[in-house]
Homo-oligomer: A and B are copies of this chain.
Amino acid sequence: MCRWLAYSGSPILLEELLYKPVHSLIDQSQHSRMGVETTNGDGFGIGWYGVDDSVALPDTRRSDVPVLFRGVGPAWGDLNLRELARSTSSGMFLAHIRASTGTPVQQTNCHPFRYDRWLWVHNGAIAEFGTLKRDLVLAVDPALYPAMAGSTDSEVMFFLALTFGLRDDPVAAVERMVGFVEAVARRHGVADPMQMTVASTDGERLWGFRYSTVGQSRTLYVSTALTALRELYPDNPVFAGLDDETRIVVSEPLGDLVGAWNPIPESSYGVVEAGDDTLGAFTPREP
């Protein structure tokens, strides 16, 4: 399985979340506490939306397409990741460390996956993916098909979600994607096919999903609203500097601060956006 982290809020250096916390994502790459494996050493990736640098030249403006940095070695020893994390700021990014469930360790299998403005990370697996893969891939919109570059279940899930409308109605699209995978699995006699926590974003809003067919999903947590945290810990300078709407969604908490992390309930989704966030029930439906 894997571990991932999603951030939405005031621009911060990536290292603030990837390296500095006691149980940072890099620490989780060797010492995951809640994952299926303690080691997540089969590659990693970050995808981020740039902070406007107001650079001098008109033709060098940053595009809306998020930037990807993905490597096939363990995150804990990657010197380039260390350098980028100390020099890159972003107000919206996804990070992922991978523990392969069988598909090759290669850059095209590292999360986040990207399509246009969209990013996607996944922890979990589709059961007996080799058996189901052909039927799943055939359902991907032929116009999207050439953009699939790797061989993971996670990427196929992303492209099925795109096929089912991710860009228009993300929650409904992911519900249809899961409903479709479960229907294909039934046809092949594969029980309990879906196990997932997923984050996806278009750079403006952030969606998180926690679901498994069997009803025992991998863990997922969201940071408590900063206004609440500031009341609890009025002297903490990090909380003081961040925008009220800053949120972190993670496979497992980055530390042991009481009250800082809320588990996301079984079979639910959340949306982090300007104004109040949303939490709702996640109900797969066949498309």
Q: Which residues of A contact B (CB under 8 A)?
A: 10-13, 16, 30, 37-39, 41-42, 50-51, 53, 55-60, 62-63, 67-74, 77, 79-80, 83-84, 86-87, 89, 100, 104-108, 130-131, 133-134, 137-138, 142, 145-146, 149-151, 237-238, 241-243
Contacts and interface: CB of A to CB of B under 8 A. Distances in A.
A60 B108 contact: no
Given A77-B100, A142-B134, A145-B134, A83 B57 contact: no
Contacts of A57: 10, 12-13, 16, 238, 241-242
B73 A13 contact: no
A209 to B, nearest CB: 26
Contacts of A241: 56-59
Given A69-B84, A77-B42, A106-B108, A60 B145 contact: no
Nearest to A109: B106
Contacts of A145: 133-134
Contacts of A106: 104, 106-108
A39 B30 contact: yes
Contact of A16 (B38, B60, B69, B100): B60
A31 to B, nearest CB: 8
How many chain copies does the complex carry? 4
Contact of A83 (B53, B68, B104, B134): B68
Given A80-B69, A108-B151, A51 B51 contact: no
A77 B105 contact: yes
Given A57-B241, A134-B142, 19 more contacts: A10-B56, A10-B57, A13-B57, A39-B41, A41-B74, A56-B242, A56-B243, A57-B238, A57-B242, A59-B237, A70-B79, A70-B80, A79-B104, A104-B106, A108-B151, A131-B146, A133-B146, A134-B145, A151-B151
Contacts of A68: 79-80, 83
Contact of A107 (B58, B70, B104, B146): B104
A12 B87 contact: no
22 contacts: A10-B56, A11-B53, A12-B57, A13-B55, A41-B74, A42-B74, A56-B243, A57-B238, A58-B241, A59-B237, A63-B86, A67-B86, A67-B87, A69-B80, A73-B73, A84-B84, A104-B108, A104-B149, A108-B151, A133-B145, A133-B146, A137-B137
Contacts of A86: 62-63, 67
Contact of A89 (B53, B71, B77): B53
A94 to B, nearest CB: 14
A55 B62 contact: no
A133 B100 CA distance: 26
